[in-house]
Amino acid sequence: MKTLNRFYIDGRWVEPSKSGKAMEIVSPSLETTIGQLTLGSTHDADHAVAAARAAFPAWSESSRETRIELLERIAACYRERLGDIAHAVCEEIGAPISLCKTLQAPIGLAHLQATIDTLRHFEFESTRGKSVVRREAIGVAALITPWNWPLNQIVAKVAPALAAGCTVVLKPSELAPLDAMIFAELMHDAGTPAGVFNMIFGEGREVGARLSAHPHVDMVSITGSTRAGVEVAISAAPTVKRVAQELGGKSPLLILDDADLQAAVTTGVAQCMANSGQTCIAPTRMLVPRARYEEAVTIAAAVANAIPVGDPSNEATKMGPLANRAQFDKVQRMIGMGIEEGARIVAGGPGRPAGLARGFYTKPTVFADVHNQMKIAREEIFGPVLCVLPYDDEADAIAIANDSDYGLAAYVASGNLERARRVATKLRAGSVRINGAMLDVTVPFGGYKSSGNGREYGAEGLEEFLECKSVTA
């Protein structure tokens, strides 16, 4: 049993306030308690913000070289703890250990290196005629991160914030606390100056709300549901602080009529089902030419049915359980809704996979006979559920793809790269990946519409933590 009853504030490990309550850490694969986490309160949030505010003047005036040296030390400590991080993520959210070793843990290291490279060449000051334009750290940044890709989101916020000269208060998800505790430990071991990095646990409705509304927090960066993003923006509005939001998605995959159908469908299903479908950019709406619709459905069903689901600690497992009970219940409810709406299940369906009597396991599910007005095609399910929709021509495919409240990501499959890029320009999404391209952490990432505002990654992600000042003589 693990006991997490400390926060990291002002360079020290401290006990939460007496009002902090405890919650169980539950194994998603066994549904058993594996630890206990103490949650913070508004008092703890105030303590962390005060430490960050006190540290800001000195850190904001630190040199580029000082910040690079710190990030390099953090990267070195992170590299030493890669194995620990991978096993923590596997244990707490049920991601397969193979995924944790190859992506869940290493993605944080990739963000650190990308931030270091960006910082080396970033222009904090430029001249325009008789004026100087300066980019200065915005101040204290509150960072609110989710449980599904925990290290990806923690490092994608912490690294550029520190590079910009901000001090931070991190509130990681209370549903994924094990990896966050390791991250705080390595931040300490790297010699991060006291108060520059602070971490507390707590529920969104109390600690998250306090950080969002706090008059001494200058910026909030949140990754989470659209509902959570709206609540943060409302809390932040009276203090007119900046809010950067990376929120929900219902991403389309447009398989054009000149694509290799077998390859495109196979890749699309794999991208949708990765991490048990708990990925905000997952291509959960597969759009295929009507003339080849049934062929595509057959391929998708076969690929989904072949995915090994089981114990996430097994190296052969490709899909583990959903991360928690609430997510399991939601996904099961949405599968039932799809059936009620008249969609046809061609793979998976309600309930756990055969042979798995306990754990938050869900069958990789594929729905056919879906149209874009169904709830399963419009609402973010956040589970291993794929909707396959037919379209008539390219214009129809683009119209269906854009007919969504979300705009975080989109995907295009085509045998003609020039055509795929032309279609990409017509899609209302913050990022478009062509023919199964991998995520690039050096280019901006963020959403249109209800998928949020602001950008992470690359120079644009660093700029989110900066204010712009002009000085004219």
Q: What is the DSSP letter of 24?
A: E
Strand partners, 411: 253, 433
Strand partners, 221: 143, 244
100 is a catalytic site residue: no
Adjacency order of strands within the sheet including 251-255? 344-347, 365-368, 385-391, 283-289, 251-255, 409-413, 431-434
468 is a catalytic site residue: no
Cβ-contact 360, 31 below 8 angstroms: yes
The CA radius of gyration of the chain, in Å to the nearest whole number, is 22
Strands (E), 262-355: 283-289, 344-347
- Looking up tokens 């360079």, which residue turns up? 11
Amino acid residing at 470: S
Cβ-contact 366, 302 below 8 angstroms: no
Strands 7-9 and 12-14: antiparallel
Please count the residues of the chain.
Answer: 473
Q: In 3D, which of 449, 32, 388, 39 has the Cα closest to residue 203?
A: 39
| Structural element, H or E, at residue 417 | helix 417-424
> Considering 92, 174, 231, 246, which one is annotated as catalytic?
246
> Considering 280, 380, 387, 463, which one is annotated as catalytic?
280
Q: In 3D, which of 229, 232, 328, 244 has the Cα closest to residue 278?
A: 328
**Helix axis angle, 177-189 relative to 82-93, nearest 10°?**
160
Looking only at Cα atoms, what is the longest distance across the chain?
75
Cβ-contact 414, 435 below 8 angstroms: yes
Report how far residue 297's alpha carbon sits from residue 370's, in angstroms, rounded to the nearest whole number: 11
Structure tokens at 211: 């950080």
Cβ-contact 340, 392 below 8 angstroms: no
Question: CA triplet 471, 132, 57: central angle to 5 degrees?
Answer: 70
Structure tokens at 473: 């003589």
Report how far residue 458's alpha carbon sits from residue 125's, in angstroms, rounded to the nearest whole number: 18
Numbers of helices and strands, H then E, in the chain:
16, 23
Tell me the CA distances in angstroms from 439 to 130, 261, 358, one per residue in order: 41, 22, 33
Provide the annotated active-site residues.
246, 280
